[in-house]
Amino acid sequence: MAKREFSIPVIKSPPEIPPIRPGAMAHSRPFVAKAEHQEPLGFPGELVDNWKSVAIDKMEELLGKYRALPVFLDSCVKCGACTDKCHYYLGTGDPKNMPVARQDILRSVYRRYFTVAGKYFPKLVGAAELTEEVIDDWYRYYHQCSECRRCSVYCPFGIDTAEITMAGREILASIGVGQKYANEIIGKVHKIGNNLGLPEPALVDTLEGLEEEVEEEINVPVKFPLDQVGAEVLLVTPSADFFAEPHVDGLIGYAKVFHQAGISWTLSSYASEAANFGIFVGNYENMQKVAERIRQAALDLGVKRIVVGECGHAWRVAYSFWNTLIGPFDFLDTAYPTPQHICELTYHLLQQGQLKLDPAQNDDKVVTFHDSCNVSRGSRMGDMPGGQFTIPRALIRSACPHFVDMAPETTHEHTFCCGGGGGLLTDDLLELRVKGALPRVSALKRVIEEDGVTHMAAICAICKSQFSKVLPEYGMGMDMVVSVHQLIGDALVFEPAQ
Amino acid sequence: MILGTIYAFLFLVAAFCLVVGVALRVIRYSRTPVPLVIPTTPAPTTTGGVVSRMFREVVLFESLFKGSKWTWLFGWLFHFGLVVALLRHLRYFTEPVWQWVEVIQWVGLYGGGVMLFGLLGLWARRFLVDRVRYISALSDHLMLALLVAIAGSGLAIKYGVHTDIVALKAFTRGLLMFDWQPLPAEPLLLMHLTLVILLMVIFPFSKLLHAPGVFFSPTRTMKDTPREKRHSAPWADEINRSTLR
Ligand code: HEM
Ligand code: SF4
Ligand code: SF4
């Protein structure tokens, strides 16, 4: 790993809004995708010669395809309400990490090429020519946004900087300047079926290992079926669940729930990934293609339901976009919502009295819950708005005797991104990730000190990986982070099925 | 008389700019597809819920209230004052003056002051808060200057140099009837009117498009029902079909 050249931010109590520090993160840029990462996604392998006109044409195309873009680019009044809402601004003080300033680097070009005011009075309205420096700025600062939508909550017009970032990244990729991390991953999904590039034999191995491990530990023959034709449920989960810590304990939790509820289920080796980095690079075609594998797997396996494991942006894509991308789901059992979140499934079973939990198993823990940004602000669970907040909490409460919420300005729709979302969970952006975690870590520190919190539960693979990596930087234990379904699995009472 | 004709002409041009300019943007917005369901959640699941959300946004500035209390206070006072002051101006355009316009005259008087107060508060933020200073372009300051000047000159006419209201009303009524009437040659009045004409022309080319824009913002206007109802756009459906096998 590269030499560390940054200092860990100091946690202030109460949290402070930093003064602006222009250029503080101007050095932060992720590795650029090579031709082999670009081309399989339909992007040019390197910077095209006529990049300027390609970029402007692409911008025009996107302006015509997504209503959000012209509306958002025209409507901002520079009121400043969003300026202190982004975790990357709060952690770095770089003014270009203020959502409105992030938009402005695209808006100034939009003004210059697509508006009357910008064409004739560029100075007056801050319109700018598209130059190499502008492209550089886009590359830097569109990779310092985790597309978490926090800014959109507070904007009087609902301007969602994530939409602007996605457009910026799509333009960049289409002139040949893609981001290596995200594009390489999308390529792996297209080719192999998951972000890790884990081939089927490795998956079989891993799952067999898990079966043995669980049976040894609790003496219950919990299965981890793969490619089982005719199963009731297809479970699609982030591939990190297969091997990363603490994710895998979540997977074990899902398996225990299915086992105890007597629901036949299967994973798919063809669609062994819930994550969909297509959303991160803002490219509809790639997002659709990644999602399509899941529809195909569901058809091939003849399942009746699709359930999605703990993953933030995956759930946004699944809940909000799947029906559009790969629907209609008329080939599935309409008695259940499609897709269904694993938390919804478990919650439903608990309500029906089909699962029994013994919270005493988690008596040693004081648990808090990190609302994942994409789940909170881009999706729902259950049939009431806000179910995405109440259902996971209800699960934790029924599995743990001690639950504490973090400060209300950092939970529910006000939640802070973990700092690693939106395709930024890569070591070449470590400084950004550490600094971007500051607001969440500050809130966590407070409940640790005031309420003796020992664990923070999450329902997102990226959150879990990110926190395991950055909490130690702030002097907290990496094993504080747990999956919600780990807590469920540990508390689950195995009874003979009724 | 020549003055009256010039101003009548300018007003018609400005009104044309405003109406056609905004109409073109609104047509553009409404014709641009929304391929994916992107309300900022938690979001309403019914049309009634969306109407209520939009009402709270447009009338109460609900999201801004969550975002920044000072900006909300000044911003809301400014817009509220603006609306009241505009309504009060109806008395120059209606004959006989509508009953309710008569009734609100006294509120309207405060409207101008409240509007000015709000504007000055907003402007102060552009100097005092380093983050807001950073994002302010020249046009943001000029827009506030323009509105301050409009409100200021209006108040000055009301409280300082009294204009010949009867003649002014003959002019404004004439505008509506396409029957040009003379305009009192009062410097402050002419300034007030000139600035208003300027504002009308600038409107469709500036950030004032936030007024129609808010009604087209997908994050606020969409229902949260993606599982219940399949949402699609033609260009996106074409891509969806292309991967079927
Ligand atoms: C549907 C109607 C409208 C809504 C919902 C609306 C809402 C808002 C909101 C929430 C803000 C941000 C807070 C603030 O700075 O005040 C704002 C700013 C602003 N609005 Fe409006 N507005 C509307 C119509 C208008 C109109 C007709 C004008 C025209 C004169 C106007 C002029 C402004 C200006 C100049 C600002 C920026 C203030 C600043 O520089 O801080 N608005 N508007
Ligand atoms: S979407 Fe999130 S990361 Fe991006 S600008 Fe808004 S608050 Fe910051
Ligand atoms: S809150 Fe919205 S309108 Fe205000 S500055 Fe930010 S993006 Fe612009």
One domain, residues A268 and A169: no
Residue A201 lies in a domain: yes
Q: Specify the CATH number for the domain of residue A172.
A: 1.10.1060
> Which of A143, A178, A213 is the C-terminal boundary of a domain?
A178
Give the range among A50-59, A122-131, A165-174, A484-493 with minimum mean pLDDT.
A122-131
The residues, ordered by sequence, that sit 6+ positions from B99 with a Cβ below 8 Å of its Cβ are: none
Give the C-alpha separation, A404 to A345, whole Å: 24
Residues of B in contact with A65 (CB under 8 A): 32-33, 35, 235
What is the three-class DSSP state of A403? strand
Q: What CA–CA distances, in Å, run from A234 to A266, A324, A328, A354?
A: 5, 19, 17, 20
One domain, residues A206 and A279: yes
CB interface of B with A, residues 142-171, below 8 Å: 142
Is the distance from the beta carbon of residue B119 to the nearest atom of ligand 1 less than 6 Å?
Answer: no
One domain, residues A160 and A209: no
All structural domains of chain B: 2-231 (1.20.950.20)
Give the C-alpha separation, A332 to A328, whole Å: 9
Is the distance from the beta carbon of residue A31 to the nearest atom of ligand 3 less than 6 Å?
Answer: no
Q: Considering all CA atoms of chain A, what is the largest pairwise distance in Å, rounded to the nearest integer?
A: 77
ipTM: 0.96
Asked if residue A108 has pLDDT above 60, the reply is yes
One domain, residues A261 and A396: yes
Q: Hey, are the CB atoms on B219 and A160 less than 8 Å from each other?
A: yes
CB interface of B with A, residues 92-131, below 8 Å: 125, 129-131
Give the C-alpha separation, A430 to A466, whole Å: 10
Beta-bridge partner residues of A367: A403, A455
Q: Which of A172, A168, A341, A318 is nearest to A250 (CA)?
A: A341
Overall average pLDDT of the A227-245 stretch: 96
Residue A133's domain comprises 35-178
Asked if residue A407 has pLDDT above 90, the reply is yes
Q: Which of A288, A109, A107, A115 is nearest to A186 (CA)?
A: A288
Give the C-alpha separation, A359 to A401, whole Å: 6
Residue A15 lies in a domain: no
A197 torsion bin: left (phi>0), alpha (psi -120 to 50), beta (else): left
Is the distance from the beta carbon of residue A164 to the nearest atom of ligand 3 less than 6 Å?
Answer: no
The ligand placed nearest to the CA atom of residue B135 is 3
The ligand placed nearest to the CA atom of residue B118 is 1
Mean of per-residue pLDDT scores for chain A: 96
**What is the residue type of A218?**
I
Beta-bridge partner residues of A306: A234
A390 and A382 Cβ atoms separated by less than 8 Å: yes
A387 and A358 Cβ atoms separated by less than 8 Å: no
One domain, residues A193 and A173: no
Is the distance from the beta carbon of residue B129 to the nearest atom of ligand 1 less than 6 Å?
Answer: no
One domain, residues A393 and A264: yes
Per residue in A278-308, pLDDT (tens digit) is 999 999 999 999 999 999 999 999 999 999 9
The domain tally of chain A equals 2
Percent pLDDT > 70 in chain A is 99
pLDDT of residue B1: 74
One domain, residues A53 and A195: no
Smallest Cβ–Cβ distance between B226 and the set A85, A149, A319 belongs to A319
pLDDT of residue A1: 44
Q: Output the pTM of the full model.
A: 0.96
Per residue in A35-71, pLDDT (tens digit) is 999 999 999 999 999 999 999 999 999 999 999 999 9
Residue A24 lies in a domain: no
pLDDT of residue B159: 85
Residue A9 lies in a domain: no
Percent pLDDT > 90 in chain A is 96
Per residue in A449-491, pLDDT (tens digit) is 999 999 999 999 999 999 999 999 999 999 999 999 999 999 9
Using 50 as the pLDDT threshold, list the residues of chain B that sit under it: none
Give the C-alpha separation, A312 to A375, whole Å: 5
Please tell me which residue of chain A has the smallest CA distance to B54. A157
Which pLDDT band holds residue A130 (cuts at 50, 70, 90)?
very high
Residue A321 lies in a domain: yes
One domain, residues A198 and A104: no
Residue nearest to atom 3 of ligand 3 (CA): A76
Give the C-alpha separation, B223 to B38, whole Å: 9
One domain, residues A164 and A195: no
> Which of A160, A178, A196 is the C-terminal boundary of a domain?
A178
Ligand 3 centroid to Cα of residue B62, in Å, is 14
> Which of A178, A206, A226 is the C-terminal boundary of a domain?
A178
Residue A6 lies in a domain: no
Give the C-alpha separation, A269 to A297, whole Å: 9
Residue nearest to atom 4 of ligand 3 (CA): A79
How many angstroms separate the first and last alpha carbons of chain B?
Answer: 75
Ligand 1 centroid to Cα of residue B217, in Å, is 15
pLDDT of residue A495: 79
One domain, residues A79 and A224: no
**What is the residue type of A290?**
V
Smallest Cβ–Cβ distance between B231 and the set A77, A81, A323 belongs to A323
One domain, residues A330 and A474: yes
Is the distance from the beta carbon of residue B211 to the nearest atom of ligand 1 less than 6 Å?
Answer: yes
Asked if residue A357 has pLDDT above 80, the reply is yes
- Strand order in A455-458's β-sheet? A367-369, A455-458, A481-483
Residue A219 lies in a domain: yes
Overall average pLDDT of the A314-338 stretch: 96
Asked if residue A498 has pLDDT above 70, the reply is no
Beta-bridge partner residues of A482: A457
Q: Hey, are the CB atoms on B135 and A81 less than 8 Å from each other?
A: no
One domain, residues A209 and A337: yes
**What is the residue type of B188?**
L
Overall average pLDDT of the A149-154 stretch: 98
Residue A27 lies in a domain: no
